[in-house]
Structure 1
Amino acid sequence: MIKILLNLIKLSPQRRKLYSLLQSITGSYPNDLRIFELSLIHKSSMLKLDDGTILNNERLEFLGDAMLGAIVAEELYNKYPDVNEGFLTKTRSKIVNRAFLNETAQKLGLNSLISSQSKISLEKTNIPGDALEALIGAIFVDGGYASCRKFITSKILFPFVNLNELAHQDNNFKSMLIEWGQKHKHNVQFITDEIPGTVEHAPVFVSSVEIDNIVLGRGEGTSKKESQQNAAMEALQNVSLRNKELT
C-alpha cells in the first residue's frame, strides 16, 4: 500500500487519474504506468522519439494476443476434458476474435482511454479490441503470468462469457445474414473497399452491407473477410432492432 501511495504522489493529476482508472479496469494497481500508457497508443497516434524509436501498442498487442489465446486454451482444456481438438479450437476462436474483443473493451470502459486518430468511430473499428490485447500484454510485462491470467479470467471470461452457451453458438455473421436474406426474400449485398497501406501502416478494408439497397451495416478490418464479418454483425443488430420496432 505504501508503494502505491508513493507512486500516486509522484504522478501528475492527469496520470493519477489514469492510474486509478486502470486499477478499476484491471483490478490491480500498475507497477510501471508507462507500459500501460503505451498499450493505449494506437499506431495512428504513434509517437516518434528523437532517436527514431516508434512508440505504439503493436508489440504489446502481439504479446497480449498470444497470452489471451494460451490462457483461454488452458481454461477450455480444463473445462472440457473429453472433447477433441477441433471443438476446443472452434470454441476458442469464438472468444479470441475481434468482434468479442471490441465489445469487451467497450464494456470495460477502455474506449475512452485509447489514443487514436482513426477517422471512423472506434465502435466501427478493431482498435478497441487491439488495445485490449495490448493491455493484456502490458499486464503480463508488468505483473507476470499470474496477474495476466487473473485479469483474463476474472475480468473477461467469467463476467462476459458463458462457455457452455458459446460452445454451441454460431458466430459466422456473414453466413447468418445471407441465410436470413434468403429466408425472408431480401437482397443482401456486400461492398468492400481497400484503403492502401503505407510503409508503417498495413492496408485497411472497409465494408458495407446493403439490404434492399439500404446500407444497414459497416465494418472495418485488416482483411476483406474480417471487415465483412464486422459489417454483417452490425447489419444483423440493425435488422433485429427494426423487427422489434415493427412488432
Structure 2
Amino acid sequence: MRPIRRNFGRDRAYYRIVDDLFGFIPHNVELYKLALIHKSASLVLEDGRAINNERLEYLGDAVIEAVTSDYLFIEYPDRDEGFMTQLRSKIVSRQSLNALAVNLGLDVHVISNGGTGITQKHIYGDAFEAMMGAVYLDQGYEFVNRLLINNIYFRFLNLEELTESESDFKSRLIEWSQKNRHQVEFRTEHDKEYASNHPVFYCTVLVDGMEVGHGAGDSKKEAEQRAAFSVSQYMSDEQCASLLDKVDRLEGTRSGSGF
C-alpha cells in the first residue's frame, strides 16, 4: 500500500511530501493538503467560506505544547516548573518552530501569496503547527508524540544550547527601553494568597504606564525575570510596533489634556 499511494494516484505528490518529511504514509491526506495552505492563499468554497490551515494550526499549537511538556518532564526529573516552563517557551516559540520547519524542508511546500513582510515571517512555523495538528487527527496522540520527540526534536533541537542561551530577560528589556526612550517599571509584591512559610512574589511589568507582562516566583528576582520573559514572548516585531503606537497615542492624549 505504501508504494502504491506514494507513486500513483492524483494525490501522490502529497503522500510523497508527508513520507519524505516525516517517514509515514497518511490515512487522510486531505488533512495534510489543508495544513500547507496559508491564509493568504485560502481556498474559497461555493458557500463563500474560506478554508486554510488556521484551524489545524490552532490544534497543532496545543499538541506541540503538550508533547513538549511530556518531553521536558521526563528529560529533567530534578528541575522545577519555572525552568521547564521557560525551556518549553523557547522550544515552541515562533522563531524556533519556524527554524524547525525550514530544517525539515517543509518551507518549500507551503502554499502562500504575498511578500516577505512582518506578517509573513512565521508562516513556516505556522504550517509546522498545522502539520502536527494533522498528524494528531490522522494518527493519534501517541504517534505524534513519538514523531515529534524521536524524529524531529532528537534531530534538530539542542537542549543544552537552549538551556544555556540568554536568560537575563530583565536586563534585555531595560536595555530595549533605554534604547527606544521608554520608561519600564517592575512592580513586585508578595502574593498574599500563599502560605507565609512559602512566600511567592508577583511582578507586573509596565512600559510607559501600560501593563505588558506578568510573572510569579519564589523570589523577587525570579518573579521579575519571568515577567520580563513573558514580555519577550509577547512582543513580536508586529506586536512591538503596535505597543509603541499605543504608547504614542497615550502620550498624545496626555499632551492634549495638559499633563
User: Given the alignment of the two structures, is residue 86 of structure 1 paired with residue 96 of structure 2, yes or no?
Assistant: no
Residue 131 of structure 1 is matched in structure 2 by 127
- TM-score calculated relative to the size of structure 1: 0.67
Task: Judge conservation of contact 2:5–2:15 (CA < 8 Å) in 1.
Answer: no
Give the count of matched residue pairs. Answer: 190
Change (3 A) 1:26 1:229: farther
Q: CA deviation at 1:168?
A: 2.6
User: Given the alignment of the two structures, is residue 112 of structure 1 paired with residue 122 of structure 2, yes or no?
Assistant: no
Residue 27 of structure 1 is matched in structure 2 by 23
Give the counterpart of 1:169 among 165, 184, 190.
165
Amino acid at match of 2:38: H
Task: Judge conservation of contact 2:54–2:130 (CA < 8 Å) in 1.
Answer: yes
Residue 215 of structure 2 is matched in structure 1 by none
- Over the matched positions of the two proteins, sequence identity in percent amounts to 38
**Unmatched segments (≥5 aa) in structure 1:** 182-186, 191-222, 232-247
Could you tell me how far apart the structure 2 residues matched to 1:18 and 1:59 are? Answer: 19
User: Which digits, 9 at most, give the CA deviation of each residue in 1:17-46, with x for residues without a partner?
Assistant: 332122111111111111100000011111
Q: What is the CA RMSD across the aligned residues, in angstroms?
A: 3.2
Task: Judge conservation of contact 1:94–1:171 (CA < 8 Å) in 2.
Answer: no
Task: Judge conservation of contact 2:118–2:237 (CA < 8 Å) in 1.
Answer: no
Change (3 A) 1:149 1:41: same
Secondary structure (helix, strand or coil) at the match of 1:83 reads coil
Residue 244 of structure 2 is matched in structure 1 by none
- TM-score calculated relative to the size of structure 2: 0.64
Task: Judge conservation of contact 2:103–2:156 (CA < 8 Å) in 1.
Answer: no
Could you tell me how far apart the structure 1 residues matched to 2:135 and 2:180 are? Answer: 42
User: Which digits, 9 at most, give the CA deviation of each residue in 1:110-136, with x for residues without a partner?
Assistant: 111111112216996110100000000
Give the counterpart of 1:39 among 35, 42, 46.
35
User: Given the alignment of the two structures, is residue 100 of structure 1 paired with residue 96 of structure 2, yes or no?
Assistant: yes
Amino acid at match of 2:16: S
Secondary structure (helix, strand or coil) at the match of 1:29 reads coil
**Unmatched segments (≥5 aa) in structure 2:** 182-232, 242-259
User: Given the alignment of the two structures, is residue 146 of structure 1 paired with residue 135 of structure 2, yes or no?
Assistant: no
| 1:1-247 aligned within 5 A | 3-8=1-6, 11-12=9-10, 15-120=11-116, 125-170=121-166, 225-227=235-237
Residue 212 of structure 1 is matched in structure 2 by none
Higher radius of gyration, 1 or 2: 2
